[in-house]
C-alpha cells in the first residue's frame, strides 16, 4: 500500500508489472538480481538472495494506495513522464485498474500542493480510523495475507518532536484534538501500526521516528524503516566519501547542487519542505568523515546542498558536486562529479526491495527499527543513543550479514582465514 501515487510509486508499480510480463529487467534491485556469498570463499556458494530468502514473489504482489489526485495509475504514470508511453501501453489495463483511495492531507504540511481527493473527518483520529478501514477493505477485497505500507508521498515541512509524540497515550489524545504537531504522514503511520503492518518512510519528514509510534510498532510487532530513499547525489556521496576518508584525504569543501523538474522538485521549492530534505542530505558527511576523530582533515568542512526547481528537466535530474580536497603536505586538489540520473528509476528498485524485506522481517518476528535496511536511506533510522551508519559498503555488509543470520549461516568477517582453518 503506497501513500502517494506519484512518480516513484507509479514507476515502481509499472516496473514490477513489466518485469512480471518479462518485458523488462529489475535492474537495481538487490532482492531480484543480487547474490550473497555463503560460507568460506573456497566453498563457492553464492546463491541469488531471492533463492536464499523466503521473499514474496513479484507475481503475488497487489498494489493499492492513496493520493490527493484521483488519477488512476496509468494517468499518474503518464503525468509523471518517467516511463516511455510504449512501455506503459503494454500494461495499461492493469495500471488503469489502480485508483487512489482518498487521502489524509492538509496543506499546512505541504504548501505547494493541493488536490480534490481528500478525506473529511471531525478530527485526526477519525481520519486515522478511515485509513484503517481502507486497509482492512483492501486486504479483504483482494484476499491478501499480508500488507506493507510505504510512504512515497511528498516531503512535508520540517518538524521537531513535541510532547504529543512522547507516548502512545499523548499521541492518541493529540489525534483527537487534531494537534498541529501531527502531520498527515503520522496519521497513516499510526493507522498502519495499529493494523500491525510494516511501515517504511521514503521521504525525509518526521513520521514514524517518534517515541509514540516506535512504542506502537514494538507492541504490534511491526518492523519499520526509513527515512528518505538514498538515490542520486547522496548515493554517490556515500560511495565517494568513505573512499576518500579511507585514504585520509582531507576535504575542505563539498558543494552539491541539483536541477530537477518533477512534482517533487516543485514541492521542494518551498523552503519549509526543502529544509526537511536539506537536513537529510547534509547529515551524511558528518557521520562518515568523523570530524571529531579527524579534526585536521574534516573539522572545517564547508558542506552546501542546493536543489533548484527547473521544469524542463522533469524527472531527469542533473547533479553537480565540487569537492575541494587536501592531500600530502596540504596540497589542494579538486574532484567534480556530474550525475545525469533519473530520480524515479533509481528509487523504484528501492521501493521493491524495502517492501519485500519488510514483509520478510515481519514474518521473521522482527519489529521496530530495521537498521539493516539503512542501505536504502539517506537518514537511516537508528536506536536512540546510537549514531546512524551512512557508509554504503558498511550498510551492505550489515544487510547481507542480517540475511545470513536469519538463515542460520555463518556471518562473514572478511578475516580471510579460509586456508588456515
Ligand atoms: N529519487 C527519488 O525520487 C526520491 C529520493 C528520495 C526521496 N524521495 C521522496 O519520495 C517522495 C515521492 O517522490 P516522487 O518523485 O514520487 O514525488 P511526486 O510528487 O511525483 O509524488 C508524490 C505524490 O504524493 C502525493 N501526496 C502528497 N501528500 C499526500 C498525502 N498526504 N496523502 C496521499 N498522497 C499524498 C502527491 O499528490 C503526489 O502524487 C517525495 O517525498 C520525495 O522527496 C524521492
Q: Is the CB of 182 under 6 A from ligand 1?
A: no
Q: Which residues contact 213 (CB under 8 A, 6 or more apart)?
A: 165, 171, 186, 189, 190, 193, 207, 224
Q: Is the CB of 82 under 6 A from ligand 1?
A: no
**Closest-lying ligand 1 atom to the alpha carbon of residue 153:** 24
Q: Where are the domains of the chain?
A: 2-229+345-406, 233-340
DSSP string for residues in 273-340: HHHHHHHHHHHHHHHHH-TTT-HHHHTT-EEEEEEEE-GGGTT--EEEEEEEEE-GGG-EEEEEEEEE
State pLDDT tens for residues 82-92: 999 999 999 99
Residue owning the nearest CA to atom 38 of ligand 1:
6
- Which pLDDT value is given to residue 274? 80
Query: For the chain, what percentages of helix, strand and coil (3-state, to nearest 5) are there?
Result: 45, 15, 40
Q: 251: helix, coil or strand?
A: strand
* Count of C-beta atoms within a 10 Å radius of residue 216: 24
User: What mean pLDDT, rounded, does the chain reach?
Assistant: 94
Query: What is the rounded CA–CA span in Å between residue 86 and residue 352?
Result: 23
Q: Is the CB of 262 under 6 A from ligand 1?
A: yes
- Which pLDDT value is given to residue 145? 97
- Which pLDDT value is given to residue 211? 96
- Which pLDDT value is given to residue 400? 97
- Which pLDDT value is given to residue 93? 97
Q: Is the CB of 49 under 6 A from ligand 1?
A: no
Over range 86-107, report the average pLDDT. Answer: 97
Cα of 334 from ligand 1 centre, angstroms: 34
Q: Does domain 233-340 have CATH number 1.10.1270.20?
A: no
Predicted confidence band of residue 316 (pLDDT cuts 50, 70, 90) = confident
Q: What are phi and psi of 101, to 5 degrees?
A: -75, 160
pLDDT at 260 over 70: yes
- Where in 59-201 does DSSP place strands (E)? 65-66, 149-151, 199-201
- Which pLDDT value is given to residue 74? 98
- Which pLDDT value is given to residue 191? 98
Cell of 173: 489524545
- Which pLDDT value is given to residue 137? 98
Q: Ligand 1: which of 81, 264, 339, 348 to mutate, judged by most atoms within 8 Å of the beta carbon?
A: 264
Q: Is the CB of 102 under 6 A from ligand 1?
A: no
pLDDT at 420 over 70: no
State pLDDT tens for residues 366-399: 999 999 999 999 999 998 888 898 889 999 999 9
Q: Is the CB of 154 under 6 A from ligand 1?
A: yes
Predicted confidence band of residue 307 (pLDDT cuts 50, 70, 90) = confident
Over range 265-294, report the average pLDDT. Answer: 82
* H/E element, 217: helix 211-220
Query: What is the rounded CA–CA span in Å between residue 359 and residue 268?
Result: 30
Over range 23-48, report the average pLDDT. Answer: 95
Q: Do domains 2-229+345-406 and 233-340 have the same CATH topology?
A: no
- Which pLDDT value is given to residue 41? 84
Over range 197-225, report the average pLDDT. Answer: 96
- Which pLDDT value is given to residue 413? 80
**Closest-lying ligand 1 atom to the alpha carbon of residue 205:** 41
Q: Is the CB of 234 under 6 A from ligand 1?
A: no
More confident call, 329 vs 40: 329
CATH class of 2-229+345-406: alpha beta
Alpha-carbon distance values, 119 to 64, 69, 94, 149 (Å): 17, 12, 25, 18
Alpha helices in 22-155 (DSSP H): 30-33, 49-52, 73-80, 85-89, 92-96, 124-141
Amino acid at each position: 500500500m503506497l501513500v502517494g501515487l506519484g512518480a516513484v510509486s507509479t514507476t515502481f508499480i509499472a516496473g514490477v508489472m513489466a518485469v512480471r510480463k518479462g518485458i523488462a529487467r529489475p535492474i537495481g534491485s538487490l532482492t531480484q538480481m543480487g547474490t550473497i556469498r555463503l560460507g568460506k570463499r573456497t566453498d563457492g556458494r553464492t546463491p541469488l538472495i531471492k533463492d536464499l530468502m523466503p521473499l514474496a514473489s513479484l507475481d503475488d504482489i497487489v498494489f493499492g494506495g492513496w493520493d490527493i489526485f484521483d488519477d488512476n495509475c496509468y494517468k499518474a504514470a503518464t503525468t509523471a513522464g518517467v516511463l516511455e508511453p510504449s512501455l506503459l501501453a503494454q500494461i495499461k489495463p492493469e495500471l488503469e485498474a489502480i485508483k487512489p483511495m482518498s487521502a489524509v492531507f492538509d496543506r499546512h504540511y505541504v504548501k505547494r500542493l493541493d488536490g480534490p481527493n481528500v478525506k473529511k473527518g471531525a478530527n485526526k483520529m477519525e481520519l486515522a480510523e478511515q485509513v484503517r478501514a481502507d486497509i482492512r477493505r483492501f486486504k479483504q477485497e483482494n484476499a491478501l495475507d499480508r500488507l506493507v505500507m510505504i510512504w512515497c508521498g511528498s516531503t512535508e515541512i520540517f518538524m521537531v518532536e513535541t510532547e504529543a509524540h512522547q507516548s502512545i497515550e499523548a499521541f492518541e489524545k493529540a489525534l483527537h484534538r487534531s494537534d498541529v504537531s501531527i502531520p498527515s504522514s503520522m496519521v497513516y503511520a499510526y493507522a498502519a501500526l495499529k493494523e500491525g503492518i510494516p511501515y517504511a518512510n521514503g521521504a525525509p519528514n518526521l513520521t514514524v521516528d517518534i517515541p509514540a509510534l516506535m512504542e506502537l510498532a514494538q507492541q504490534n510487532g511491526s518492523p519499520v524503516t526509513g527515512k528518505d530513499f538514498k538515490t542520486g547525489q547522496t548515493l554517490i556521496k556515500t560511495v565517494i566519501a568513505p573512499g576518500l576518508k579511507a585514504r585520509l584525504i582531507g576535504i575542505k569543501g563539498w558543494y552539491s547542487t541539483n536541477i530537477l523538474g518533477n512534482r517533487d522538485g516543485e514541492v521542494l521549492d518551498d523552503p519549509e519542505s526543502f529544509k526537511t530534505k536539506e537536513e537529510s542530505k547534509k547529515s551524511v558527511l558528518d557521520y562518515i568523515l568523523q570530524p571529531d576523530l579527524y579534526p585536521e582533515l574534516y573539522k572545517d568542512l564547508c558542506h552546501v546542498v542546493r536543489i533548484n526547481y527547473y521544469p524542463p528537466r522533469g524527472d531527469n535530474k542533473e547533479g553537480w558536486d565540487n569537492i575541494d580536497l587536501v592531500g600530502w603536505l596540504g596540497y589542494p586538489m579538486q574532484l567534480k562529479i556530474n550525475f545525469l540520473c533519473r530520480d524515479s528509476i533509481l528509487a523504484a528498485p528501492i521501493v521493491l526491495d524495502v517492501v519485500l524485506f519488510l514483509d520478510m522481517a515481519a514474518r521473521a518476528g522482527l519489529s521496530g527499527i530495521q537498521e539493516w535496511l539503512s542501505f536504502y536511506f539517506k537518514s537511516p533510522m537508528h536506536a536512540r543513543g546510537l549514531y546512524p551508519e551512512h557508509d554504503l559498503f558498511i550498510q551492505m555488509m550489515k544487510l547481507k550479514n542480517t540475511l545470513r543470520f536469519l538463515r542460520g549461516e555463518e556471518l562473514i568477517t572478511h578475516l580471510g582465514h579460509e586456508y588456515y582453518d
